[in-house]
Amino acid sequence: MEAVVLTSVVMIFVLLVVACGRYEATRDQVIGAARAAAEAAAIVPSASLASKAASAAAAPELALNGASCKATTVTTGIQKFKPGGDVSVTVTCSVDLSDLGVPGLPGQENISVTQVAPIDPYRVVS
C-alpha cells in the first residue's frame, strides 16, 4: 500500500520537474527571440520596416529546439525610432502545460519579455 502512495507522489514530482523545465526552456527562448527582434528592428532604415524585421528575427529563435509556444505575438514599439533613440520589442508566448496532467497546474502560462535596443545616433533614419 505504501508503494502505491509513494509511486504517485514521485510521479507528480517528476511531472512538476518536467513542467518547470519546459517553462524555463521556453522562457530562455523567448528572451533570445526578444533580443534578436529588438536588434533587428534597430538596424532597419525606417520605422515602417521595424515590425517586419522584428517578427522575422523572432520566428527562428522561437522555432529553435521546438519551443512549447501555443501562440506567439511580437509587438514593436517605434515611438522613439530616431537617431539616438531606441526601439522596444515585446515577445509574448503561451506555454502549453495541459498535456502533463498535473493537478493544480494551469493549462497554459504566458511568458512576456521586452527588450530595448538603441538606434545609432549617427545614422540616417527615413
Residue 66 has pLDDT above 70, yes or no: no
Summarize the confidence of residues 50-72 as an average pLDDT.
84
Q: Please state the rounded mean pLDDT for residues 75-102.
A: 87
Contact 33, 61 (CB under 8 A): yes
pLDDT of 3 reads 79
What does the pLDDT look like over 55-65, one tens digit per residue?
Answer: 999 988 888 76
